[in-house]
Amino acid sequence: MKSTCRFAVGERNGLKSSIWTVAINKADIYVFSRLFGSDFKLSLHESGNAQWSFTSDFVARQIDMPNKDRHFIKWTFSRPLDSMAINIFRIQIPHTELRNIPSPTNKKVKWVSGVTLGTYQFDLCITMPSDTDPTAGRDDLPHRVLDCLQLADKRWLVIFVQVVGLTPSDLEKAKRTVISEMRKKNVEIGKGDWISLYGKGDDGVPLVLEFHYDK
């Protein structure tokens, strides 16, 4: 049974985003990105508990960080109780943030491209338990299905992708916000670094917005 989806926006040999990995372990869902290196991960647990955390490898490199302190953003989400899937997390990657960075040489990546304006939005949704892929043969789904992975409890994680129209002023404001917050914490940002902003959409879905720092 397939347990991993690796995707990015752009072209393997052209402008591109960081690479995102969604991995299933039993009925838990983990999200990693080149954006965070080996220091951070997102965990969406079967219990409904979710958190952004420092990885155990990062904690092991620190002198005075107890393992219990590694979860720096926590929230909860619901499991679907009817036939409707529930959107549990969202990744947004503005087309303006694609850069000509080195390509992966030995990894299978789903590349998403095709527009020159807008923000690519990936919605992670979970379904009720089902023995079969709930998206198979469907032509009434709201958006394109990037991938569909089954959990151990027979629910499915469906990753939808669409393009949304975040305005340049909205994106610039979001970028300024994350840069300001990082500087308050005395975190250096180097030219060419990837940065991200955690927040919630107008519909309340937790999300992360990916940026590239060029200054």
Cβ contact 149:135 at 8 Å: no
Rounded CA-CA distance 126/110 in Å is 20
Cβ contact 171:179 at 8 Å: no
Structure-block tokens of residue 63: 């002198």
Structure-block tokens of residue 189: 């940002």
SS3 29: strand
Cβ contact 174:209 at 8 Å: yes
Q: Average of pLDDT values for 33-49?
A: 80
Cβ contact 174:211 at 8 Å: yes
Number of DSSP helices (H) and strands (E) in the chain, helices first:
2, 13
Which residue stretches of the chain are H helix? 56-61, 168-184
Rounded CA-CA distance 16/109 in Å is 12
Q: Pairing state of beta strands 110-112 and 71-76?
A: unpaired
Q: Is the pLDDT of residue 32 over 80?
A: yes
Q: Pairing state of beta strands 206-212 and 86-94?
A: parallel
Q: Is the pLDDT of residue 214 over 60?
A: yes
pLDDT tens, position by position, 45-79: 999 999 876 656 655 565 565 555 555 678 899 88
Q: Is the pLDDT of residue 90 over 90?
A: yes
Q: What predicted TM-score, i.e. pTM, was given to this entire model? A: 0.89
pLDDT tens, position by position, 121-133: 999 999 999 999 9
pLDDT tens, position by position, 167-204: 888 888 888 888 887 787 777 787 888 888 888 888 99
Burial class (CB in 10 A: 0-12, 13-18, 19+), 77: middle
